[in-house]
Amino acid sequence: MLNQPIFGQILPMHFLLVGIIEVPASAWRRCSWPLATVIFNVFVEAAKLEPNCMSTRYAVASHRMKEAERSQDPTELLSCAGNEMASIIRDGDSSLVELPIAWAGLAMVHKAQHEISAAYEGEQDGLKEMEERAVSSLKQAITEDPDDVVQWHQLGLHNLCARQFKTSQKFLKAAVARDKGCSYAWSNLGVSLQLSEELSQAEEVFKRALSLATTQEAHVILSNLGILYRHQKKYQLAKAMFTKSLELKPGYAPAFNNLGLVFVAEGLLEEAKYCFEKALQSDPMLDAAKSNSIKVATMSKLCKGLSSCILKE
């Protein structure tokens, strides 16, 4: 059975890594598409009229980042965003530009470029260079502002996605040391600890994250905690966590998918099939649920066929 992989290979569980972006995506999602385009064009024209207004240029670069997320070919948009961010650092008046924010923006672009390259085998040639550039930008952002929790967290997240678990833990611990109330950093630290098989510590950290989480964040952490219990074969506890997650966010696809895997482990194939179908209804792009749904249907047919053979005998 597959769970949604977050790295370059199949993993035995699906975690949601909680990341943050400096410019809230919700601000654009609340706009209708034509209105968002109009706003962007206004920013572009404003930047042309007043090229020294760094905040406007940052807004343009940030919007290009959001456009890249929607695009089938984000390379050019990310390149434009990176050039814009770099020019802010290179050309901006040092008395006006907030360098920590500018470096954080550039790091965000470089990190996205690296993640895209890592996802495609055909673009492996420049992967190492892109990774080094992403890490360098993140470290420079931290140098500019050593107390910036966001960048410590992003550096930890980068290493976690690269499966450098011990390194990721170092940076994530640095993040929570600077902000002990940062629930998403605690949650991702828990993910890293579990993936490095430090299960008791992971459970403690997930519970800490849960105690700090808002209602909008808790469903993710509950799902992650459920994965830990499933990994330990504590199926009743796992089901309780996934159920709570779904109570907080009905239709949450990763929780349905992982709940389905618990039912598979218990041999309850019809219940598992229902969960995978619900996961796909909520998120048709969740490949793990697609694969799991196909596999559980095959298993169900095999079991029925075996029962039929036994009855005939």
Question: Quick one: pLDDT at residue 300?
Answer: 81
* pLDDT range class, residue 46, cuts 50, 70, 90: very low
**CA pair distance 106, 62, nearest whole angstrom:** 10
* In the chain, % of residues over pLDDT 70: 55
Query: pLDDT tens for residues 168-178?
Result: 999 999 999 99
- Give me the pLDDT at residue 174, please: 94
Q: Which pLDDT tens digit goes with each residue over 138-161?
A: 787 788 788 888 888 888 888 887
Measure the CA dihedral 194/198/202/205, to 10°: -140
**What was the pLDDT predicted at 144?**
79
Q: What is the pLDDT of residues 270-302, one digit of tens each?
A: 999 999 999 999 999 888 899 999 999 888 888
Q: How far apart are CA 251 and CA 51, in angstroms?
A: 46
Write out the two tokens for 250: 């009905």
Whether residue 44 is predicted with pLDDT greater than 90 in this model: the reply is no
CA contacts within 13 A on the Cβ side of 307: 6
Give the pTM. Answer: 0.67
- Residue 97: phi, psi to the nearest 5? -80, 135
Cα dihedral across residues 217, 71, 6, 20: positive or negative: negative
Q: pLDDT per residue over 59-89, tens digit each? A: 666 666 666 666 666 666 666 666 666 666 5
Q: Distance between CA 204 and CA 103 in Å, rounded? A: 34
Instruction: Return d(Cα 75, Cα 117) in angstroms, integer.
Output: 10
Q: Using 50, 70 and 90 to split pLDDT, how confident is the model at 32? A: very low
Mean pLDDT computed over 203-207 = 96
> In the structure encoding, which two tokens stand for residue 215, read together?
């209602």
Q: In this predicted structure, what is the pLDDT of residue 240?
A: 97
Confidence label for 56 from pLDDT (cuts 50, 70 and 90) = low
pLDDT digits over 95-133, tens only? 555 666 665 666 666 666 656 666 555 555 566 666 677
Q: Tens of pLDDT along 242-273?
A: 999 999 999 999 999 999 999 999 999 999 99
Architecture field, domain 219-313: Alpha Horseshoe (1.25)
**210/243 Cα distance (integer angstroms):** 15
> What does the angle CA 105 – CA 55 – CA 18 come to, to the nearest 5 degrees?
35
Residue 132 is predicted with a pLDDT of 73
